[in-house]
Amino acid sequence: MAVETAPTTSKGQRTLKIHVTINGAPHDVDVEARTLLVHFLRENLGMTGTHIGCDTTNCGACTVLLNGRAVKSCTVFAVQADQGTVATVEGLEKDGKLHPIQEGFHQEHGLQCGFCTPGMMMTAVALLEKNKQPTELEIREAISGNLCRCTGYVNIVKSIDHAARVMRETAEGKA
């Protein structure tokens, strides 16, 4: 981390410049220190794939990956992402091809209203990064900070399991 260049505000100064790599693309943006990461994404950058649900650190609809870890972006300041990387749902699809987790939600009917889906998928991506073959219990534990009020979770668990299987098969095919 480039601490020497890290941002500091002082009296009278309203914004500070941060450098963040989002879904692989660099961004240099002026933000207020109090700007939450989710507002930075949605309002400063117009990336509305990340949702605001409860806005109180409960529901997980705003989940993004910050330096590879799934976090609730309503409970992180954008300045904390300075010099770091953020991954959002917009970065999952590549060149018109859906990410296996998106395929999984499609195939297994993992959403109804879809509001929780971006957060669910980002949490799942982080899980599958660490654990290639999660058990049902491990999947349920991993998404225990993401609330869904439609599905009863059954198809979400199936969707994540589907993605895990596809990702394993792809990895084996390449090996």
Interface contacts to another protein, rule CB under 8 A: 1, 3-4, 6-11, 14, 16, 32-36, 39, 55-58, 60, 63, 69-72, 74-77, 79-80, 123, 141-142, 144-146
Nearer to another protein, 20 or 70 (CB): 70
Tell me how far apart the alpha carbons of residues 35 and 92 are, in angstroms, rounded to a whole number: 25
Measured from the CB of residue 46, what is the shortest distance to another protein in angstroms? Answer: 18
Measured from the CB of residue 149, what is the shortest distance to another protein in angstroms? Answer: 13
Measured from the CB of residue 148, what is the shortest distance to another protein in angstroms? Answer: 13
Nearer to another protein, 8 or 25 (CB): 8
DSSP state of 60: -
Cβ atoms of 76 and 35 closer than 8 Å: no
Measured from the CB of residue 136, what is the shortest distance to another protein in angstroms? Answer: 16
Nearer to another protein, 79 or 148 (CB): 79
List the Cα angle 105/148/114 in 5-degree steps: 50
Q: Provide the token pair at 73.
A: 């972006």
Nearer to another protein, 135 or 170 (CB): 135
What's the sign of the alpha-carbon dihedral 125, 126, 129, 132? negative
- The CA-based dihedral angle spanning residues 120, 167, 126, 107, taken in that order and rounded to the nearest 10 degrees: 0
DSSP state of 105: H
